[in-house]
Amino acid sequence: MLSLTGPQVDYLRPLKTHDIPKVLTIERQMYSYPWSEGIFKDCLKIGYSNWAFIKDGQFVGYVILSVAVGEAHILNICLDPAYQGKGLGRQFLKEVLIIAKKKNANSVFLEVRPSNTAAVQLYKTAGFKKIGKRKNYYPAADGKEDALVLSLDLTSDSA
């Protein structure tokens, strides 16, 4: 397990099948177009790097990370709304980047909705740079929304 601020207080542990009901509760609260149970089960089966965020012993979020041939992709990162806006997303993201480095990733990629101001701000201040845009990538109430494609170089000193 990866300790953040002290032993067994805030940490990441591997995500397990028994976590899926809690994952789905958070996922459905946070996204208008949530991933299905089947997608999460597949992520566990495929063997992505899947982690649970634990705060004071409580399951408060998760990350689905794919790492291959020197590239990491954050496919989903999500925190329980009751725990958002308190710096936890930033703390957990730092640990996710450490995991990616340990798995020999040189860079991290992700897609984010431009309208997701909290996430965009989090990634920007963590050093991610915009490298592109995917047109009409996300479903949206009024049609489709583009995705910003962001990347972080893990080989630079600041990462």
Ligand X SMILES: CC(C)(COP(=O)(O)OP(=O)(O)OC[C@H]1O[C@@H](n2cnc3c(N)ncnc32)[C@H](O)[C@@H]1OP(=O)(O)O)[C@@H](O)C(=O)NCCC(=O)NCCS
> Shortest gap between Cβ of 85 and ligand X (angstroms)?
4
* Residue in this structure with the two tokens 């949530």, named with its chain if needed: 34
- Coil, strand, or helix at residue 25? helix
User: How far apart are alpha carbons 145 and 111 in whole angstroms?
Assistant: 12
Q: Rounded to an integer, what is the distance from CA 4 to the centroid of its chain?
A: 16
Catalytic one of 11, 48, 62, 123? 123
By beta-carbon proximity to ligand X, the closer residue of 27 and 105 is 27
- Does residue 89 interact with ligand X by CB under 6 A? yes
By beta-carbon proximity to ligand X, the closer residue of 104 and 139 is 139
Residues 21-80 that bind ligand X (CB under 6 A): 30, 77-79
User: How far apart are alpha carbons 140 and 133 in whole angstroms?
Assistant: 16
The identity of residue 155, as a single letter, is: T
The catalytic site residues sit at 111, 123
- Contacting residues toward ligand X, per CB under 6 A: 30, 77-79, 84-90, 110, 112, 116-119, 121-122, 125
